[in-house]
Each structure stands twice: as C-alpha cells, then as structure tokens.
Amino acid sequence: MADTIAEAVQQAAENITENANVKIPATPEGMFLAYSSLVIMALLPIFFGSKRSVSHQKEQKESSEKPDIMTKKDAMMFPIIASCALFGLYIFFKIFSKEYINLLLTGYFFVLGVLALSHLMAPVISKLVPSSIPYVPFHIKFTKGTNEDLIDYKFTSYDIVCLIISTIVGVWYLFKKHWIANNLFGLAFAVNGVELLHLNNVITGCILLGGLFIYDIFWVFGTNVMVTVAKSFEAPIKLVFPQDLLEKGLSASNFAMLGLGDIVIPGIFIALLLRYDYSLKRKSKVYFYATFIAYFMGLMATIFVMHVYKHAQPALLYLVPACVITPICVAMVRGDLKSLFAYEDHPEEKKEDEKESKEKPKSDVAGKAEKKKIK
C-alpha cells in the first residue's frame, strides 16, 4: 500500500514538472499585444534616432570633427563580415557550453548597454535633474608626448547621474535577465546606432541593404544558423515581448522577438533620407515619412507571413524592397532622382579621399624618379 502511494506521488510530481515546462499557447490577444509592442518598439528608435542623426551631423560640421562614414567598400564587405561572425557564433555554441559563452557576452554587453543607455538618457535627465544637484563640467585628458591625445573626454555631473541610473538597469539585467531590462538596452543600442552610424550617400545605402537582403534570406531559409544563434544568444541584440503577458504578467516567458539588425540597418538608411530632406530645405520631409511608412508596412508584412506559414521570416526580405523602392519612386515622381543619388552627407570627405588617391601615385612616381637619379 505504501509503495503504491509513493509511486502515485512520484508520478504526480513528474506530471507537475512536465506541465510546468510546457509553454502556454499564445492567445490571439497575447499575440496581438506582443507584435504590436514589437512594431512600436521598432518604429520609435528609427524615428527618434533619425532626428538625433540630423543634430549629430550639424555638431560634426560645426566642430570640424572628421566623421566616420561607411564607404561603398565597407558596405560590400559588411554582409561577408556579418556572415563570418554569425557562423563563428554558431560554431562556438555547438562546441562550447552555451552558459560560459553567454556569461562572457553578458559582461561585454553590460558595459556597452550602460554607456548606450547613458548617452540616450542624457538629454532627458539633464532637464529632470533637480537644482540641488549642481551642473559641474569635467574634462579628462591623457596625452602621449606633446601632441597625441590618447583620451580627451568631456562630461558633466548630470552625465554621472545618467551613468548611475544606467548602471542600476545594467545590474538588473546582469542578474535577472529580465525582458524589460533587455529591451531598455536594446532600444538604447538601436537609437544610438541610427543616430551615430552614417551612410554617406544613397548608393552606399543601397549596396548595404542589398547585401544584407541576400545575407538574411540565406541564413534564415538556407540554414538553421540564424534561428539557432538568435535563440541561444542571451544578449540585448533583440527586442522581445511576451505573448503570454496577459496570463503570466511580468514573469511571462513565451517571447516574440525582433532582431536589432532589422531596426538599425533600415534605420540608418531612413535617417540618411531625413538628412537629405533637410538638405532640400523644403517644408515637407516627404522622403523620410514615405520610407518610414514603407518600413512599417514591410514589418507588418513580415509578421503576417510569419503568422501564416508558422516559420521564422527574414525581415529584411520585406523591409529592404520597401525601404529602397519607396524613395526612388518618390524621387521619380518629384523629379529629384538625380539629386537623390548625388546627395552626400559629407562631400568634402570624398574630395579629400580622391585628392589623396591622386597624390599617392604622383608621389610614388616622384620617388622612383629620385631613386633612378641617385643610381
């Protein structure tokens, strides 16, 4: 009798454990809430990051700071480099323990996330900081010799407040891996990426988007590499939202996700179009808003197809055509096609590069001539 009772208790315990591990199927309401939230979280970084990119460009020109721009060669190489990195991570996850890899990545992204969130919050926090906290500027400078600056960083007491708040979020993410903390870091990465990563012209943007269009299709449809890495990679490189939030609350675990690459890559192209709009000095920002809406429609198409076919979709398959074709069509209608492809954020950089490339062969020829004279 006692043995029978013990077996029954053990069986019941096993059933409870199995049921606890089974994911609750997402309800239509839960799915709608999750995907709506992901769409909103995707649109916000592009909108605000694009606006901030305009200010960043003005600051660069005013300070005569040499911008870091993506060249056509960089755009061509980016999908290849991204493929190598992706496949490398896939191999690492197959060979080594996932826990140890994610431990290293967590520490790395903790530092990056704190800095990104601090930079994002700085304009807001500076307005909210009480007057009891004085505004004190600081300047850290570390030089080598007389001219070479190794570190030249300016910050204020308000930036320190931002850093403290961001560190609290970082510690929360570090120990709990909570999806809200993940999204705060993810949104910070996305906004900073759209703001700071500048494509110099539309042609470079088309090359980049075209290459990543092929990259995304291959790694999602051709292999299981992308999906495996995305599910194994515990880092804030994706936005997530629980589909079972209504049932489980903040402890929900059945997540829908969207990679940051599907936000930042089209986002930097849309930001370029906003800067082009400003260069036209017109009242309307038609290229920005038209492509922004096209991005939204492409994202909705991705979600629709994914829901119908019950299979992960390469979002860039839908986003790239939407973001590339839309501004070209608008330019054709408005007669701006030549202007669109001729526009450059920093034309002076291209002229300097061309000048250097022309001067280099001349200097080489002169050097060879001098050697001949010496002989």
DSSP 104-159: HHHHHHHHHHHHHHHHHHHHHHHHHS-TTS---EEEEEEEETTTEEEEEEEEEHHH
Which positions ≥6 away from 340 have C-beta within 8 Å? 202, 276, 287, 327, 328, 331
pLDDT at 92 over 80: yes
Question: Across residues 247-271, what is the average pLDDT?
Answer: 89
| Domain interval for residue 233 | 25-99+194-347
71 domain residue, yes or no: yes
For residue 259, pLDDT beyond 50: yes
What single-letter amino acid sits at 247?
Answer: E
Answer yes or no: is 300 within a domain: yes
* Percentage of residues of the chain with pLDDT beyond 90: 44
Show which residues are catalytic.
216, 262
* pLDDT value of position 170: 93
Q: Is 120 a domain residue?
A: no
- The answer to whether 159 and 135 have CB atoms below 8 angstroms apart is no
The answer to which of 7-11, 64-68, 167-171, 182-186 has the lowest mean pLDDT is 7-11
The predicted model gives 69-97 an average pLDDT of 89
Residue 20 resides in a domain:
no
pLDDT at position 20 is 42
Check residue 9 and give its pLDDT: 42
pLDDT of residue 23: 57
Whether the pLDDT of residue 357 is over 60: the answer is: no
Which of 37-51, 74-88, 132-146, 210-224 is predicted least confidently? 132-146
Within 10 angstroms of residue 86's Cβ, the number of other Cβ atoms is 19
- Choose between 374 and 321: higher pLDDT: 321
138 within some domain: no
* Residue 234: both structure tokens together: 């515990």
In the chain, how many domains are there? Answer: 1
**230 forms bridges with which residues in the sheet?**
none
- Within a domain: residue 207? yes
Give me the mean pLDDT over the 322-332 stretch. 95
Is a pLDDT exceeding 60 seen at residue 127? yes
User: Do the domain assignments include residue 88?
Assistant: yes
Q: Work out the average pLDDT over 111-117.
A: 93
Q: How confident is the model at residue 253 (pLDDT cuts 50, 70, 90)?
A: confident
Strands 69-70 and 198-199, sheet pairing? parallel
Q: How confident is residue 301, by pLDDT bands cut at 50, 70 and 90?
A: very high
Q: State the pLDDT at residue 17.
A: 41
Share of the chain above pLDDT 70, in %: 86
Residue 246 counted as domain residue: yes
Q: What is the mean pLDDT of the chain?
A: 83
Kindly report, residue by residue over 194-225, the tens digit of the pLDDT: 999 888 899 999 999 999 999 989 988 888 88
